[in-house]
Structure 1
Amino acid sequence: MAVSAGVINDIELGLNAKIKSISPVAGGDINQAYRLQTALDRFFIKINSLHKFPGMFESEVEGLAAISKTNAIAVPNVILRGDTGDESYLILEWIDAGQINNVSSKKLGYQLAQMHRATSAQFGFDADNYMGSLHQSNRPRDNWAQFFIEERLQPMIKMAADKGELNKNDVHQFDLLYKKLPGLFTEEPPALLHGDLWGGNYLISSEGKPYLIDPAVSYGNREFDIAMTTLFGGFDRAFYEAYNNEFQLLPGWQQRLKLWNLYPLLVHVNLFGGMYAKQVRDNLSVFV
């Protein structure tokens, strides 16, 4: 899809600079993504439907700001956000990607641990946001078990059941899990979570500096972020060792990874169906 004239005009006015070129780049399933070259600099721009995804880029800006305020790990600078017609756009600084190696993995693990030290009085966040293209509720709760059940699992389970991706027995198995959940882990203070920390949502700059991108933030159990890092690869031993050296995870964290990954897997069930329902059942069977 070509970039509309309305978006181009808005960007040129907002940046006060003539656009020289716009080149498509990989940007996922939700947004059109481009490298934007102006007389000033290069930028990264994302464009999507304002009607389909209202407030998505506002939520992203809020999430990037929350991470930035921790002074623990870098995020891209927000340059400009706007709407024109039925299109929303977000312009971020352009970051030249470098190599992921032992040193950069250690930095990423250490800095994520530092970010997880940022805390809040309750679990949740002061605004809802998105997980992928799905609405994510962040209503505050006093403990992680309640938040994980009511704000994470239950909305996704209802959606999947309504679509026919999960059956009555699946729903019953989750009901059993809810009763057991408080005894399966030790509560910790809420930690600021990236919320969607798979291998595609961080990058290493050409200078070896880690950046987090595309957040779905909330305050929650920090094992949730760690669990997501194991879903699709992209994180090595150096990352986990550096994290634990800085902020030791509680005993048994490895055994709880499948528990916390129930949520992102349910999101994938609702977005893509197919084999993800089987993965949900397999993970659930470990705990019920």
Structure 2
Amino acid sequence: MLLPDRFLTYLKEYPDGADITHVSAVGGGSINRVYCLSSATNKYLLKLNSRITFPEMFACEVSGLRTIGDTNTIAVPAIIACDDFEDQSFLLLEWVETRRPTRKSSETLGRQLAAMHCCSSTDFGLDADNYMGSLIQSNKKHPTWSEFFIHERLMPMVKMAVDKGLLNAGDQQSFGILYSRLSGLFDEEPASLTHGDLWSGNYIIGADEKPRLIDPAIAYGHREFDMAMTTLFGGFSQEFYGAYNEALPLAEGWEQRLDLWNLYPLLVHLNLFGAGYLGQVRDCLQQYL
């Protein structure tokens, strides 16, 4: 077994716990160790990480999944358990058998994401901070998207990058110019519930063709932010965008603002993975100065 017997025994304390007969490792990125657990009747997805290094990370993930699930607009995997065991934190979810997206499932994803974006709030932000990747994400509330995006998204990442020597004084000055101009670059909309990290690896299509969102970094924000993230690394079809725009049309010029909103995830990648992302950050920034 890849996991100690004492841990597998501990999992039996949960209502859906079962005798695990097989454990296999699956890809989980650079933060978590991920496993498929099999019993005689069910399969589960287990995520493990250090509870000291990433405190409350899985609790934040659970909160995000439940918030999305409670909208009854788009599915998320069922949550079975979230707890600490010795020096590890763990999250146990249902295992979802997946398939490649089809035209039908892509259209469903677009319509259901639009429905989720209709879930609104009076403020931009969230009641609690959470994570974007392995970085703490500040969600202090603001009355406008421009204030929230500047103070809770761009400024913390720019400061971190400057402190790491990844951005210089000239870059910092350029971001200051952007801050002064940002409110004039788009039209404010009511705050929408956003996934917050909506790249192609954070949605799955079940064998039943039902879309599910995973690994959220939620906040109430501008829905163009989610749509911009879908374009950063590809993996979303034209059927997805067509169905979304039919259900909830995006504002005129939204495609010209993709790089603006993608400054945040690019800064996150710059801080996590280094100077390889510096050119993209600067190129995106220069478009709006």
Distance change in 2, residues 1:274/1:3 (3 Å): farther
Contact map agreement 2:101 2:205 (CA 8 A) in 1? yes
Q: Deviations over 1:81-128 (max 9, x none)?
A: 110111000000110001211111111011000000000110001111
Give the aligned partner of residue 152 of structure 2. 151
Give the aligned partner of residue 141 of structure 2. 140
2: CA distance, partners of 1:111 / 1:243: 8
AA of the residue aligned to 1:266: L
Q: Deviations over 1:228-284 (max 9, x none)?
A: 000001001110000000000000100000000000000000000122111000000
Give the length in aligned residue pairs. Answer: 288
Give the aligned partner of residue 123 of structure 2. 122
Give the aligned partner of residue 84 of structure 2. 83
Q: Deviations over 1:137-187 (max 9, x none)?
A: 101110000000000000000101100111110000000000000000000
Equivalent residue runs for 1:138-287 within 5 Å: 138-287=139-288
Contact map agreement 1:6 1:85 (CA 8 A) in 2? no
Contact map agreement 1:127 1:138 (CA 8 A) in 2? yes
- Residue 58 of structure 1 aligns to a residue whose secondary structure is helix
1:11 aligns with 2:1: no
2: CA distance, partners of 1:2 / 1:161: 41
CA displacement at 1:8 relative to structure 2: 2.3
2: CA distance, partners of 1:139 / 1:285: 27
Distance change in 2, residues 1:6/1:279 (3 Å): farther
1: CA distance, partners of 2:137 / 2:174: 23
1: CA distance, partners of 2:181 / 2:9: 55
1:29 aligns with 2:35: no
- Residue 111 of structure 2 aligns to a residue whose secondary structure is helix
1: CA distance, partners of 2:9 / 2:151: 43
Contact map agreement 1:6 1:84 (CA 8 A) in 2? no
Cα RMSD, aligned residues only: 1.2
AA of the residue aligned to 2:50: S
Which sections of structure 1, spanning at least 5 residues, go unmatched?
none
Distance change in 2, residues 1:253/1:24 (3 Å): same
- Residue 51 of structure 1 aligns to a residue whose secondary structure is coil
Contact map agreement 1:23 1:34 (CA 8 A) in 2? yes
Give the aligned partner of residue 43 of structure 1. 44
- Residue 64 of structure 1 aligns to a residue whose secondary structure is helix
Distance change in 2, residues 1:167/1:4 (3 Å): farther
Calculate the TM-score normalised by the size of structure 2.
Answer: 0.97
CA displacement at 1:40 relative to structure 2: 4.2
Q: Percent identity?
A: 53
Calculate the TM-score normalised by the size of structure 1.
Answer: 0.98
2: CA distance, partners of 1:268 / 1:201: 16
AA of the residue aligned to 1:189: P
